[in-house]
Amino acid sequence: MEMMEMMEMTEMTEMTEMTEMTERAEGMPRFLCLCFLLVGVGGCQDERRASAPCADRECGSASKSNPRLMSYLDRLKGITDRQEVLFGQQRFLLTGVEPGNGQQWKVEFGDNLQRSDVNDVTGQHPAVLGLDVWDLAMKPFDWPVNPPTHAKAMKKHAQRGGVVTLSWHMAGCNSSQPNSLEMYEGMFETNGASNLAVGNENCLCQIANVPEWEKWFKKEQLTKLAAALKMYDLTEIPIILRPFHEFTGAWFWWGYKYWDCENRVPGAQVSGPAAFQKVFRMVVDTLRQEERLENLLIAYSPDKLAEGVGNSDRERYLSGYPGDAYIDILGIDLYFQDGDNAAFEAQLQRFRSYLRLLTELAREKHKIAALTETGNYRLYRENEPGKSVWYSEYLLKMIKDDPGIRLAYALTWENRTSKKDEFYVPYRGHPGVADFRRFFDDRTTLFLGDIAGLFDGPPAQPGPGPSAAPADLGALPTCEANDGLGEGAMFRCDPSKSPLCGKTDTTYTNLCLVRARTNPAANGLPYCQANQGQGVGEGFPCDTASDLRCAKTDSTYQKWCVVRARGA
């Protein structure tokens, strides 16, 4: 994270029971209506999809040799097609802010991970859990919130149906105390340079050009990371690994200002962007090919593009790009710097232009786009009712209502204390909770309870096209609503028309059952509008006394009715 104090952090809440996962805090059910719920490797067959299915290796490290990861990617891509966004936070199961005194709470070893600041104010956890490679592979075992607890959080969140990411805050080559608490807690100096960079300015060039340093890097960092993933039995969990993030800044030893290897290593054979790209590829090849870790998705994420190598935002963004075969997710880290509303408006417009570029590049390269880090640096002083509006007025405007912006997730940094730069989500009792609730309630944002079952099970292939309604629903096999999770009993569909069946979305072609909007004007019966008025189907009343239950996934749906699904 840019300009943060990397202090020891902690664990947060576990999810509520599965039935509670599908409800907002006020008791309103909220389900998904996403094309990736049962999509196949070929992806969502939708006119809005701008990119074709991926060829082998074209989509990055998750090649066709791993159908599970390809399916996982396709389901993430479905979110971008729907212009819905998973919300995430760094280390939310491990640390937070005590409401009474503003101090940090941390989980203890053996904690069941039931708490989080987000869950305290919304009734749900974030959908994306961010952790760090250093916490998992390098941190001493006797430090609070030790590596086994981080591993447990990863497993727990994945078991609950969430997405897990790992950022990269690894010490450089010349750290005299690479595992020191002082290095970890005091990473940023007042001049903006990081302790990870100061004294390590030559590190990237040494790894790229000197065999002894390459060997050191693999042994001391990559092999230890691989060993940790294997030791903690994390090799079956899809993990988004984000090496060398924010390279368009100068606070980390891999930053662009340290790529001039011809000035740093005598006889350097590789320099400039090529040096960064070489070391990036080294990470991916070592972990995936040598260590045989097949559960990693690789993210590429510079910081804001005011600096870097190149004459345009596009050139600066791609300056460190290691190649399509190495990347699955295109990200960017964008923090709103402390300032007045005019400064925030200017940042909003600039950041939206970055995200439009990111979305365009993701379409061109058949990747997933994500806001890999974000936050509000002035949240600590937004301490009056109605003053805190960043989530609803800035972050939400960044990620919705613009067809040129399609993101799979947006992740904020962690909560530690109520001090400056030490919390990024309003905690219970903070005046910003009302604003965060507005963000939470918006249909664009998806939290953990909204994606129950999303990444479970094998992918399904899309159906062949619209079908006639079956004459006798009772004669058809039954399928479980919402993949057996959340509210909804059994519903019926025609498996000859779709391998997996029943929900109203672009890949479903058979008759299916959906939740009904309450409409007192419809003869006293609940009212449904198929596909929200899009595609096949129209509004009609339905009798909830019948057994025609369904899975239209929307927070305002409370009863049931039958509609025709839209064709492919």
Each residue's pLDDT tens digit, 485-522:
222 223 343 444 333 333 332 222 333 444 333 444 43
Same domain, 25 and 105: yes
Q: Is 432 inside any structural domain?
A: yes
Question: CA 43, CA 63: separation in Å to the nearest integer?
Answer: 14
The predicted structure's pLDDT at residue 473? 32
Same domain, 502 and 447: no
Give CA angle at 136 (162, 372), nearest 5°: 50
Same domain, 178 and 285: yes
The predicted structure's pLDDT at residue 55? 40
Same domain, 283 and 197: yes
Of the candidates 491, 494, 511, 492, the one whose C-alpha atom is nearest the C-alpha of residue 565 is 511
Strands 409-412 and 85-90, how do they pair? parallel
In 248-405, the DSSP E strands lie at: 296-300, 329-336, 368-376
Same domain, 424 and 478: no
Q: Give 532-541's long-range contacts (Cβ < 8 A, gap of 24+).
A: 534/566, 535/506, 535/565, 535/566, 535/567, 536/466, 536/563, 536/564, 536/565, 536/566, 536/567, 537/504, 537/563, 537/564, 537/565, 537/566
Mean pLDDT across the stretch 304-316?
92
The predicted structure's pLDDT at residue 67? 80
The predicted structure's pLDDT at residue 518? 40
The predicted structure's pLDDT at residue 203? 94
Question: CA 38, CA 32: separation in Å to the nearest integer?
Answer: 12
Same domain, 420 and 499: no
State how far Cα 296 lies from the chain centre.
14
What letter does residue 188 receive in the DSSP assignment?
A: B
pLDDT digits (tens, 9 = 90+) for 196-224: 788 889 999 999 999 999 999 999 899 99
Question: CA 465, CA 209: separation in Å to the nearest integer?
Answer: 55
The domain of 91 spans: 18-451
Same domain, 478 and 447: no
Q: Is 10 inside any structural domain?
A: no
Which pLDDT band, with edges at 50, 70 and 90, does 62 fall under?
low
Question: CA 371, CA 379: separation in Å to the nearest integer?
Answer: 19
Mean pLDDT across the stretch 525-537?
36
Mean pLDDT across the stretch 225-241?
94
State how far Cα 206 lies from the chain centre.
33
Q: What number of residues does the chain have?
A: 568
Same domain, 434 and 502: no
The predicted structure's pLDDT at residue 9? 33
Count the neighbouring beta carbons within 10 Å of the beta carbon of residue 541.
17
Q: Cβ(301)–Cβ(373) under 8 Å?
A: yes
Count the neighbouring beta carbons within 10 Å of the beta carbon of residue 546.
12
Same domain, 215 and 351: yes
Which pLDDT band, with edges at 50, 70 and 90, does 65 fall under?
low
Q: Is the pLDDT of residue 122 over 90?
A: yes
Q: Is 69 inside any structural domain?
A: yes
Question: CA 403, CA 400: separation in Å to the nearest integer?
Answer: 8
Q: Looking at residue 109, which CATH number applies to its domain?
A: 3.20.20.80
Count the neighbouring beta carbons within 10 Å of the beta carbon of residue 173.
20
Q: Is 462 inside any structural domain?
A: no
The predicted structure's pLDDT at residue 1? 59
Mean pLDDT across the stretch 412-420?
93
Same domain, 511 and 432: no
Mean pLDDT across the stretch 56-81?
72
Residue 89: strand, helix, or coil: strand
* One-letter amino acid for residue 170 of the chain: M
Question: CA 559, CA 567: separation in Å to the nearest integer?
Answer: 24
Question: CA 20, CA 122: separation in Å to the nearest integer?
Answer: 12
Question: CA 45, CA 39: separation in Å to the nearest integer?
Answer: 9
Q: Is 6 inside any structural domain?
A: no
Of the candidates 411, 277, 281, 301, the one whose C-alpha atom is nearest the C-alpha of residue 358 is 301
Same domain, 96 and 157: yes
Q: Of 417, 451, 485, at which residue does a domain stop?
A: 451
Same domain, 344 and 492: no
Q: Of 451, 481, 504, at which residue does a domain stop?
A: 451
Q: Cβ(305)–Cβ(316) under 8 Å?
A: yes
pLDDT digits (tens, 9 = 90+) for 251-288: 899 999 999 999 999 999 999 999 999 999 999 999 99
Q: Is 418 inside any structural domain?
A: yes
The predicted structure's pLDDT at residue 456? 63
Q: Of 399, 416, 451, at which residue does a domain stop?
A: 451
User: Structural domain tally of the chain?
Assistant: 2
Q: Cβ(256)–Cβ(247) under 8 Å?
A: yes
State how far Cα 413 lies from the chain centre.
12
Q: List Cβ neighbours of 340 (8 Å cut-off, separation of 6 or more).
A: none
What letter does residue 256 receive in the DSSP assignment?
A: G
Q: Is the pLDDT of residue 414 over 50?
A: yes
The predicted structure's pLDDT at residue 370? 97
The predicted structure's pLDDT at residue 514? 40
φ, ψ for residue 46 (rounded to 5)? -140, 140
Q: Is the pLDDT of residue 316 over 70?
A: yes
Mean pLDDT across the stretch 326-335?
96
pLDDT digits (tens, 9 = 90+) for 430-456: 999 999 999 999 999 999 999 877 776
pLDDT digits (tens, 9 = 90+) for 123-163: 999 999 999 999 999 888 878 889 999 999 999 999 999 99
The predicted structure's pLDDT at residue 61? 55
State how far Cα 101 lies from the chain centre.
31
What letter does residue 94 receive in the DSSP assignment?
A: B
Residue 370: strand, helix, or coil: strand
Q: Is 84 inside any structural domain?
A: yes
Higher pLDDT, 301 or 59: 301
Q: List Cβ neighbours of 422 (8 Å cut-off, separation of 6 or more).
A: 5, 7, 97, 380, 415, 416
Question: CA 130, CA 411: separation in Å to the nearest integer?
Answer: 8
Question: CA 61, CA 41: separation in Å to the nearest integer?
Answer: 15
Torsional sign, CA 52, 55, 61, 63: positive
pLDDT digits (tens, 9 = 90+) for 361-385: 999 999 999 999 999 999 998 988 8
The predicted structure's pLDDT at residue 213? 94
Strands 368-376 and 329-336, how do they pair? parallel
Strands 296-300 and 128-132, how do they pair? unpaired
Q: Cβ(304)–Cβ(351) under 8 Å?
A: yes
Q: Is 459 inside any structural domain?
A: no
Count the neighbouring beta carbons within 10 Å of the beta carbon of residue 496.
13
